[in-house]
Amino acid sequence: MALMITDECINCDVCEPECPNEAISAGEEIYVIDPNKCTECVGHYDEPQCQLVCPVDCIPLDPNHKESQDELMDKYHQLTGQ
């Protein structure tokens, strides 16, 4: 699954630079995650880096974008050209 940012986001700016796929950007009110770029850090790290640094724990799995580990790895390969 891709991740999502809930409205509990406090716009602290720590998640955006941690994303290796540049999937996180500033939205109109809170940060947002592009599900087409989010691999939950599969291929880069063992755990989603944005979740690790988020001080308010507002980055859960996005139930609207369910993906298996294999699908996330395929997306990683597409995004990185590998």
Task: Give the DSSP letter of residue 25.
Answer: E
Residues 16/26, Cβ–Cβ less than 8 Å: yes
CA distance 48 to 15: 10
pLDDT digits (tens, 9 = 90+) for 33-65: 999 999 999 999 999 999 999 999 999 999 999
pTM score of the predicted model = 0.92
Q: Which CATH architecture has domain 16-80?
A: 2-Layer Sandwich (3.30)
DSSP 45-75: -SS-HHHHH-TT----B-TTS---HHHHHHH
